[in-house]
Structure 1
Amino acid sequence: MRCLQFDVGNSSAKWRLVIDGQVTARGSYRKDDAGAKKALLACAAGLDAVWISSVAGPTGEAHLASLVHEQWGITPWFARTEARSADLVNSYAEPTRMGVDRWLAMLGARARNGARICVVDAGSALTIDLVSAGGVHEGGYIIPGPALMERALLLDTDRVRFDEDVGYDLAPGRSTAEAVRHGIALAQVGAVAVALDQCSEDQPALFFTGGAGEALQGLLGRGGTYAPDLVFEGLEVMAGLAGL
């Protein structure tokens, strides 16, 4: 089976091509990036299925669906957040209001570990979700990611300005650049640490995903598993449940 899979965010999309269970190609896509579009359309001469996780709006989803249909003649399947997927139970009164990427990341982690879990997705936003050993979503947190934090700080202050390219660290900053970047790191790590400290003695198994997930895992220093394809893994689980 030749399956093209997408993880569509607010501004760009990640994709991977899976042939007979093996990832054979991957990349990123922006509709205004000609090179990225060319690479995507050249990834396979033919496909059997296209599966999409998307938090984009209707216009973005329609554009991608049209692109896929024009190139391969396939109508893609879009995963949607459900009240229940297998033994994973949603805590939202209106399940569809939960971003499908969060739901799929939990589903992917649940497939890896049937104990209590905490899924940390560090992307444009930092999301933290807890799932009980019984599969019930205990709740979660949505926090601005590093880029959004920095942008908000620069937009709403006049004197916080810097040109240095400084990394994220937990040491107290000795320049404005360090103070901002290290402060953001402290906020991100602190959020995850406090969320974990709120848990009972039954500490969850930690899963990290997202572009900044591995760095956050290292800064936090509490172990866990970095799984960059966790949303894709959940997408495959949900597709299986749908009989695709």
Structure 2
Amino acid sequence: MLLAIDAGNTNVVFALVEGTEIKTRWRIATDPRRTADEYAVWLNQLIEMEGYHRTQVSAVIICTVVPRALHNLEVLADKYFGVTPLIAGRAPVEWGIPIDLDEPQAVGADRVVNAIAAHALHEGDLCVIDFGTATTFDIVDYSGAYKGGVIAPGINLSLDALFAAAARLPRIAIEIPDKENVIGRNTQDAMLSGIYWGYIGMIEGLVARIKAEIGRPTKVISTGGLATLFDEHSSVFDQVEPDLTINGLAMMYRRWAEPQQG
């Protein structure tokens, strides 16, 4: 069984994958100071609660955009699962797709993993929108080449900045507004409207410009924890893929493992 780890700026996602099936997944807040021992105590309990045992894990693959978190995750794999982890984008699990950028080495690992998975699952030109710490728009052409994209502030980052910079504004959580009215009748509704409808406006506007720039039919794929929230009131998404990054990691592992087994 494969343990796939996606270490983002806000959360680290752990998933058990068997073949092409994601058996279960968990997330924990990203903290580069968290030790391998701390990860192991937390993860071992969750694995057993789901009816598995850590000895069933035969491989680990890691994707991270937090360099300081990588060492402890590597120690976790080696010390508690007895395997040398594969690191997405590094030998022997290189990307395997063209990275057509001015600085290909600077692109976030999660963005390329998403591109790999999206191209494997969908045909044609693609725009992959990931609602994470940042909201990213990644472009994959019909041949599978990663062509670049857009990075915008994430929704929760925007909320935190609004709360921190404006003394009289309350902290609110992002949610679907009760009504489709854009004009808020109180401070909280006005803030929610600005964030929710403002992000939908940004998404739809950027997607329209991206499609015009590509000049060919382009399918829009969304992923990340808040993808379904915005899919509720926008027709811009052709497909929501909540496990795109984990699926991409599993695909990269299988691509590496198959020649080893055969």
**TM-score using structure 1 length:** 0.86
CA RMSD of aligned residues (A): 2.6
1:243 is displaced (CA, Å) by: 4.4
Q: Does 1:39 pair with 2:50?
A: no
Separation in 2, partners of 1:6, 1:73 = 16
Deviations 1:61-99 (A, max 9, x none): 1111112222111121110289x844x422322222111
Segments ≥4 residues shifted beyond 6 Å = 32-35
More displaced stretch, 64-73 vs 36-45: 36-45
Q: Distance in 2 between matches of 1:166 and 1:85?
A: 34
Structure 1 residues 208 and 142, CA, compared in 2 at 3 Å: closer, same or farther? same
Name the stretch that deviates more: 179-188 or 232-241: 232-241
Deviations 1:128-186 (A, max 9, x none): 11222233333211111111001111111222236x66734462222111111211112
**1:153 aligned residue:** 162
State yes or no: 1:167 paired with 2:175.
Answer: yes
Cα-to-partner distance string for 1:17-42 (whole Å, 9 max, x where unaligned):
12344332321234468974443564
Partner of 2:194: 183
Alpha-carbon distance between aligned partners in 1 of 2:77 and 2:107, rounded to the nearest angstrom: 26
Aligned equivalents of 1:237, 1:224: Cα separation in 2:
22
In the aligned structure 2, how far is the partner of 1:34 from the partner of 1:239?
Answer: 22
Indicate how the Cα distance of structure 1 residues 217 and 69 shifts in structure 2: closer, same or farther if over 3 A, else same: same
> Per the alignment, in what secondary structure is the counterpart of residue 151 of structure 2?
strand
Question: Larger deviation: 73-82 or 112-121?
Answer: 73-82
Q: 1:152 to 1:65 in 2, by over 3 A?
A: same
Secondary structure of the corresponding residue to residue 220 of structure 1: coil
Deviates further, 211-220 or 15-24 = 15-24
1:1-244 aligned at under 5 Å gives the runs 2-30=1-29, 31=34, 36-40=42-46, 42=48, 43-46=52-55, 47-57=57-67, 59-80=68-89, 85-86=95-96, 88-161=97-170, 167-169=175-177, 171-198=182-209, 199-200=211-212, 202-243=216-257
Change (3 A) 1:63 1:81: closer
Q: Is the 8 A contact 1:196 1:203 kept in 2?
A: no
Alignment: residue pair count = 239
Conserved? CA contact 1:3–1:51, under 8 Å: yes
Q: Is the 8 A contact 2:20 2:250 kept in 1?
A: no
User: What letter is aligned with 1:167?
Assistant: E
| Identity between Structure 1 and Structure 2 (%) | 25
Unaligned runs of 5+ in 2: none
Distance change (3 Å), C-alpha of 1:61 and 1:40: farther
**CA separation in 1, counterparts of 2:26 and 2:231?**
23
In structure 2, relative to structure 1, the CA distance for the partners of 1:237 and 1:37 (3 Å cut) is closer
Question: What is the TM-score normalised by the length of structure 2?
Answer: 0.81
AA partner of residue 175 (structure 2): G
From the superposition, tell whether residues 23 and 131 of structure 1 become closer, same or farther in structure 2 (CA, over 3 Å).
closer
2:143 partner letter: G
* Residue aligned with 1:119, SS: strand
